Amino acid sequence: MSALTGTHFNLPGQTAFYKGKVRDVYTINDELLVMVASDRISAFDVVLPRGIPFKGQVLNQVAAHFLKATADIVPNWVLAVPDPNVTVGIKCEPFKVEMVIRGYLSGHAWRVYQSGKRVICGVRMPEGLRESDPFPEPIITPTTKAAVGHDEDISKEEIINRGIVSRADYEQLEKYTRALYMRGQEMARERGLILVDTKYEFGKANGIIYLMDEIHTPDSSRYFYADGYEERQERGEAQRQLSKEFVRQWLIENGFMGKEGQSVPLMTDDFVNLVTQRYTELFEKVTGSTFNRTTAENIEQRVEQNIINYLKNR
């Protein structure tokens, strides 16, 4: 199966191009963003050497599903989805933080907790928790938004004191983050899932705060299966996850955590196909819809033509 690992377009009205870890972003006439969800995959803030077929389509369509379902909570940047891998939206000035919210002790927070620390991003975590236990109430653990390299944990106080985000805007971001997470949890519960943690990105245009990028996807979120959650906790067993965490675990088991001097282990065809299957499973589980694979041939050409058709006809 082919994978879309990068794009090299020259679009009508194009004024800028930015290549993120997994997205290629084109600016049109300094007013629109065309965001192409590639099949690149990153872990520990490193882009892995092989693309995952259909991953970009999954991310883009899951995000479109949840952005539509949360538009009553906060305005979002989306104007159109002209291709399964593409979203076109309002160009915003992004806030330079990612709003991470955690309802359960898992992933990065668990690794911090396991190391003996009890404070993350200025938030104190209770004693006596086990991995995957719920927090008494969800905690917000923001990170800096790095264009290259590692995002870094940062506290609310640091963000405000350093002038990264104003106090008024940050407190509004917190309110939106909690409301979006609550909606995400409700929607997950209806699908037999638990939304464990997730992150949101916001920006501003014409004085209005917009929700940007993707939400509640396997790249930005972690899900547990609700069925059997309590029993697994009681037995001290690992939870069944529907997220990208299994990729991180595979890398850890093979000696890679993105640290200097470490090499990414060989990604075999079988492993790449397994990751595709897991992403497809997540799409169907979280949306309740069947995943329809687009043609795997001439992906870049198809994407480019669909973008051009949209821009010409808008």
Amino acid at 307: I
Residue 129, SS3 per DSSP? coil
Under 8 Å between Cβ of 30 and 91: yes
pLDDT digits (tens, 9 = 90+) for 256-311: 999 999 999 999 999 999 999 989 988 999 999 999 998 767 899 999 999 999 99
End-to-end Cα spacing for the chain: 33
Confidence of residue 244 (pLDDT cuts 50, 70, 90): confident
The answer for residues whose C-beta is within 8 angstroms of residue 201's C-beta and 6 or more apart is 94, 95, 98, 99, 145, 211, 212, 213
> Rounded CA gap, 202 and 210, in Å?
6
pLDDT at 237 over 70: yes
Q: Where are the alpha helices (DSSP H) in 19-100?
A: 55-69
Residue carrying the six token digits 């291709």? 83
Whether 149 has a pLDDT exceeding 80, the answer reads: no
pLDDT of residue 282: 84
What is the model's pLDDT at position 163? Answer: 96
What is the percent of the chain with per-residue pLDDT over 90, rounded to a whole number? 87
Fold of 94-188+197-219: D-amino Acid Aminotransferase; Chain A, domain 1 (3.30.470)
H-run or E-run covering 251: helix 245-253
Closest among 199, 1, 5 to 85, alpha carbons compared:
5
Q: Is the pLDDT at 50 greater than 70, yes or no? A: yes
Type of residue numbered 84? P
Task: Return phi, psi of residue 196, to 5°.
Answer: -75, -55
Residue 79 pLDDT > 90, yes or no? yes
Other CB atoms within a 10 A radius of the CB of residue 254 amount to 13
What burial class does residue 199 get, using C-beta atoms within 10 Å of its C-beta: 0-12 exposed, 13-18 middle, 19+ buried? buried
Q: What is the mean pLDDT of residues 197-212?
A: 97
Q: Are strands 97-104 and 134-140 parallel, antiparallel or unpaired?
A: antiparallel
CB 84 within 8 A of CB 35: no
User: For residue 150, is pLDDT > 70?
Assistant: no
pTM of the model: 0.88
Q: What totals of helices (H) and strands (E) does the chain contain, helices first?
A: 8, 17
Map 191-230 to HEC letters.
Answer: CCEEEEEEEEEEEEECCEEEEECCCCCCCCEEEEECCCHH
pLDDT for res 146: 65
Provide mean pLDDT across the span 194-220: 94
Q: How far apart are alpha carbons 223 and 60 in whole angstroms?
A: 18
In the structure, what pLDDT confidence band is assigned to residue 87 with cuts at 50, 70 and 90? very high
Average pLDDT estimate for 209-225: 91
Per-residue model confidence (pLDDT) at position 238: 93
CA dist., res. 96 & res. 105, Å (int): 25
Q: Are 43 and 244 in contact (CB under 8 A)?
A: yes
Return the pLDDT at 127: 97
**pLDDT for 45:** 85
Whether the pLDDT of residue 148 is over 60: the answer is: no
d(CA 155, CA 33): 30
Q: Where are the domains of the chain?
A: 94-188+197-219
Does 147 score more than 70 pLDDT?
Answer: no
Average pLDDT, the chain: 94
In the predicted model, what is the mean pLDDT of residues 84-108?
Answer: 96
